[in-house]
Structure 1
Amino acid sequence: MNFKEMIAKDLAAVLGEQLSYEDILNLIEKPKASDHGDYSFPVFSLSKIQRKAPNMIAEELSKDIDTTNYEQIIPMGGYINFFLKKSEVSNAVLNDVVSKKNHYGDSTLGQGKNVVIDMSSPNIAKPMSMGHLRSTVIGNSLAELADKVGYTPVKINHVGDWGTQFGKLIVAYKKWGDEAKVKENPISELLALYVHFHEEAEKYPELDDQAREWFKKLEDGDTEAIELWTWFREESLKEFQKVYDMLGIEFDSYNGEAFYNDKMQPVIDSLLEKELLVSDDGADIVNLEKYDLNPALIRKSDGATLYITRDLAAAMYRKENYDFDESIYVVGNEQSIHFKQLKAVLKEMGYEWSDDIKHIPFGLITSNGKKLSTRKGNVILLEEVLNEAINATQNIINEKNPTLENKEEVAHQVGVGAVVFHDLKNDRLNNFDFNLDHIIQFEGETGPYVQYTRSRCESILRKADWIAPTSEANYSLSDDESWEVVKALYNFPSKVQEAYRKYEPSVVAKYVIDLAQKFNKYYSKTKILEDNSQKDARLALVYSVSVVLKEGLRLLGIQSPDNM
């Protein structure tokens, strides 16, 4: 059931060739005020055609439209306002949700095609900080949305396990490291060494030369370098897994940068063969002037490769192995030039599928307005934040509902969910300042507020002992409060598709806040459990809200407890 299409067809039937069906469909909008109807059609574009004032056109046209599908059609200024039949629409929408349950909003847009999602990708030997949260949770939500609209997502954790930073770390460890300390507390010790290296390198620039030498040894297979690198990598992955377990996120691949070591030479050979590689002061570059981009540096003068060399190899490997319809990189906004260069080089190599590569950028998380930096030691550890959120939520539960069963499990779901929701409710490209006290509140536009609203729905259903029937029933409602909720429920499938189309999980996050607010307003004004002819329909509405809130939160990577 698509109401815009229905209205467009009814308008097209009376407008004839004055406007195309597509033009009519694109002009239909939702009025800001509910007393102006559920949809409206601006007639201003018809003024030139009919040579009449818009209000006159609206007046005349509204009389010719078939009213079968509407409670009323009212002209207002230069608009025709359509009021849908509440009882019929509510019956159709609620039956749809009740029958489809968590599959409400599913679609086959993706036709099973693969979408590769490069996400999270922390650097080995550094802790996962709040700076890693965005790529991780945005990428995970996009994977859930892709699956919901019919794609097959492939989540790749392209861990940063290669590059000159390992040369720096090896130098730091050999100069100042203590094996016993590293074994006891690997990540914090390695981070301290990394920070110390940068502090010392500012005074002694020759340290950077030593780091480059050690990275070259690593690339050349030096035994000592490989042993240290392997140790750093294994310890780091164990630490990362703790955070992923807390977030409930899994990956299809952990192939990081090192995986592509033996796959870079074929890329360089191909660039040479296609006469795209140009020597510049001993380094190898690809000229990208025609794309209005700086040259892509493929290989340094000392023979060392760079991020883009490995990303070229990775892109080609992923196309060959996954035959992706889209390859999405959920990486910070500051890397936009890098991805423009990556696409341009692939385009120059003759790969038309380079158009299917999408950089999905995002803004920064700041703390007290300041950017977080591992290099300077200004870092907020993600695991610590998640634990703090869980503990703070536990305290709230102990205060508000001390007899709640499974308090620890609920505190985990709500605390972690609060952190994730706060990230995803912000438009992806916006920066935001992180404040734990604000995000764990059970009131306001927060994850706990949405989770608590769904828990309220479940509580009502338990009191009523209501179980969703397996066959169609009469769920007709016509009051204004339920109508706002029904319209919100109807919008869920289109919001899911919009969120994926824009690669913007905040569309779903804002949607579930809106649905929760509308339901709570309905709850405050309606005696849901009152015994009368519409009780079953009201309970179907409550059930539908619970289903859609739970599914909306799931698409954000957030669990929703039945009881809070």
Structure 2
Amino acid sequence: MNGLLTFLSQFIFLVRSGNMASFFRRRIAEKLSRTLQQSEDALIPALAAVPVMKKQQAADFKLSINTLRDNGILPSSGDIQLQAEDLASQLKRDSMVEDIFTGRGLVMFKVNPKLLAQKLLEPFGKGEDDKFGLNSELFNSLKKGTTLVEYSSPNIAKKFHAGHLRSTIIGNFIANLKQTLGNDVIRMNYLGDWGMQFGLLGAGFGQFGCVEKLKQNPLQHLFEVYVQVNKEAEHNEDIKQAARDFFRQLEQHESHAVSLWQQFRDITVEEYQHVYKRLGVQFDVYSGESFHQDGAQEVVQQLRSRGLLKIAENGTGVVDLSADGDMSSVSTLLRSDGTTLYITRDIAAAVDRKEKYSFDEMIYVTDKSQQNHFYQLFQILLAMGHSWADRCRHVSFGLVQGMKTRTGDVVFLEDVLDEARTRMLHNMSQSNTTKEMDDPEDTAEKVGISALIVQDFKGPLQSDYKFDWDRMLQAQGDTGVFLQYTHARLCSLKRRNEGLEAATFDPSLLPERTSVTILQHLLRYDEVLYQSAQDLQPKHLVNFLLKLCHLIASAHRELPVKGSPQDVAQARLRLFSGACSVLANGMKILGITPVDKM
């Protein structure tokens, strides 16, 4: 009788709690807390869901003795396996934790499978699908507040090059993740809309530009002018001088130069917004280097007044970043003619953003060639007395090799998106499983973009990777197409069984290994988000979702809904609906728009 009362009291607590995996983690931590005389909060980070393997899985959670030793909870000397066995022997099994055993310095916990199914799948019957995994104690240690993410940041007056794709989708992922975990996020596009390149373009447009062509195909024409003027400048000193003169006119706000520059900027932003809409990317702020011309001059004055700005032999203004003050490592902030550089404007931009947005952290997303630039930026900000520079972070990424369309070497992003859509549309037309759709082109676009994102996100961001059209668009294997196909298949299953879903279900009707394996995998969702939040790498979430899709594919074959007794069908449908929601939620964080049919 007492055992039944204990089970019921735990069950009632379970139903009231909305913490999914956190419920089990908290209850196991309670056990450990009483034995180790430590707070539950200190023990929770040492507990992790056991990753799903091919062979039968005996445990749901594992406790690392090494973590307890590192945190001073257990003595750091002695045999680690003996410590695990000693701790396990002191812990009691109950109606929630069915088994406790050890292995390789770990204490393993097997929870009641009925409670596992009930707890994990309960939110999906309450309309809380998008909250799954987000109410977790793991996130308590993450700093909340305002996060400013600067990403994409292409140069104006140039077509959106495919090289900017990585910054755009990685920054979008980081912003989505931070927002999902409760941060106030400011999404900023910091356009390269100033500098000597506009001197070249302004001088070039005077010689090679055509107003009519600018109206017909604005960015293509500006690109052609830029290529031509660069070629001329290689052997023509007059062109170089004209470029310097034009940029000086810009910095002095002369009306002709500013008017032409403004026209180029407006044209470019309008064109870029079209590409961003296709990618499902939005920005709260379109900023740019041009916003910080005056601020850059103020930065120069502040550095002078602090004695930080030195004049080098060639007449440039530099800041000494060397440890010994011997000018062995300097950052150039001022040209010899007095005009500012990119880093000068970046310093001014950072100070302005802190004043304007009071951010708690700022994240820059650019390729790894700019690592030294951001090291210098943060060091100069600290030298100026801005202690908040410690909360600025550069997320760098490698290069994409071999991203080409059929048409040539210069790869513009719109061409890549068009080709992804065309190839995907062709693949869908050849497939026997393709469903009738209202807008096949829109579906092909979304699936093609999913394929681009997943191919990009599967590995570490810092790694270069080789772009492969055929592998990227495969329906089988670890691709974005496979994610979309699995989601569409689950949506189809739900449509075919409309009216069958019930407010409650019997969790004991999900005893099969395939069911339990999906549930065990879902236990890791909050851990995957937590890991992603710490290192800002999308690979954790991508690989979690791909694994989920493989598990769902097995369950589709082994757990039919149609033709099963109604209560069994309802339980299985709840399992598939829950998996579908988690898949969709994870895809949205990655920046992928899930499709319902394909």
Tell me if the contact between 1:95 and 1:475 (Cα under 8 Å) persists in the aligned partners: no
Equivalent position to 1:132, from 150, 164, 169: 164
Deviation at 1:482, TM superposition (A): 1.0
- 2:473 corresponds to which residue? 440
Report the counterpart of residue 310 of structure 1 in structure 2: 345
- Could you say what secondary structure the match of 1:203 adopts? coil
Q: Residue 495 of structure 1 contacts residue 508 of structure 1 at CA under 8 Å; is this kept in 2?
A: yes
Alpha-carbon distance in structure 2 between the residues aligned to 1:97 and 1:340: 46
Offset of residue 41 of structure 1: 4.3
1:550 aligns with 2:584: yes
Q: Which residue of 1 aligns with 2:61?
A: 39
Question: What is the aligned partner in structure 2 of residue 490 from structure 1?
Answer: 523
- How many angstroms apart in 2 are the aligned matches of 1:248 and 1:560? 11
- Determine which of 514, 536, 554 is the counterpart of 1:503: 536
Is 1:88 equivalent to 2:88 in the alignment? no
The offset of 1:79, in angstroms, is 4.5
Matches of 2:345 and 2:438, distance apart in 1: 50
After TM superposition, the structure 1 stretch with the greater mean CA deviation from structure 2, 471-480 or 439-448, is 471-480
In the TM superposition, residue 37 of structure 1 has moved relative to its aligned partner by 2.4
Contact 1:475 1:540 in 2 (8 A): no
Deviations 1:524-562 (A, max 9, x none): 222233115432221111101111111111111111111
Alpha-carbon distance in structure 2 between the residues aligned to 1:422 and 1:21 = 37
Aligned residue in 2 for 1:184: 216
Compared with structure 1, are the counterparts of its residues 551 and 79 closer, same or farther at alpha carbon in structure 2 (3 Å cutoff)? Answer: closer
Change (3 A) 1:197 1:549: same
Q: CA deviation at 1:195?
A: 2.1
One-letter code aligned to 1:418: A
Q: TM-score, normalised by structure 2?
A: 0.85
Preserved CA contact (<8 Å) 1:9 1:21: no
Alignment partner of 1:301 is 2:340: no
Structure 2 CA distance for aligned equivalents of residues 355 and 467 of structure 1: 54
Distance 2:228 2:297 in 1: 34
Find the partner of 1:26 among 34, 40, 46.
Answer: 46
Residues 141 and 555 in structure 1, CA contact (< 8 A), matched pair in contact too = yes
Determine the structure 1 residue equivalent to 2:5.
none
Give 2:134's match in structure 1, choosing from 75, 89, 106. 106
Q: CA deviation at 1:309?
A: 1.1
Aligned amino acid, residue 359 of structure 2: F
- Partner residue of 2:11? none
Q: Match for residue 256 of structure 1?
A: 288
- State the distance in 2 between where 1:221 and 1:28 align: 59
Contact persistence 2:46–2:64 (CA under 8 A):
no
Matched, 1:172 2:172: no
Cα distance between partner residues in 2 of 1:263 and 1:58? 60
One-letter code of the match for 2:111?
A: L
1:62 aligns with 2:88: yes
Unaligned runs of 5+ in 2: 1-20
CA pair 362-56 structure 1, distance change in 2 beyond 3 A = closer
Further displaced range: 55-64 or 82-91: 55-64
Shift of 1:226: 1.9
Post-superposition offset of 1:27: 7.5
Question: For 1:51 and 1:432, how far apart are their aligned partners in 2?
Answer: 43
Give the direction of change, closer, same or farther, for the CA distance of 1:6–1:330 in structure 2 (3 Å limit). Answer: same
Distance 1:472 1:403, change over 3 A: closer
CA distance in 2, matches of 1:77, 1:440: 41
TM-score by length of 1: 0.90
C-alpha displacement of 1:23: 7.0
User: Of residues 63, 72, 75 in structure 1, which corresponds to 2:99?
Assistant: 72
Q: Shift in Å at residue 70 of structure 1?
A: 2.2
Alignment deviations for residues 297-350 of structure 1 (CA, whole Å, 9 cap, x no partner) = 221110110011111111011101110011111111111111111111111111
1:332 aligns with 2:367: yes
Q: Is the 8 A contact 1:91 1:475 kept in 2?
A: yes
SS at match of 2:523: helix
* Local SS of the residue matching 1:442: coil
Quote how far apart the aligned CAs of 1:154 are.
Answer: 0.6
Per the alignment, residue 31 of structure 2 pairs with 10
Worse overlay, 409-418 or 118-127: 409-418
Find 1:384's aligned residue among 415, 428, 432: 415
For the Cα contact (< 8 Å) 2:59–2:108, is it kept in 1? yes
CA distance in 2, matches of 1:388, 1:28: 42
Partner of residue 4, structure 2: none
Cα RMSD of the aligned pairs, angstroms, is 3.0
Task: Check the 8 A contact 2:25/2:44 in 1, yes or no.
Answer: no
Query: Secondary structure of 2:191's match?
Result: coil
Call closer, same or farther: CA 1:28–1:205 in 2, change over 3 Å: same
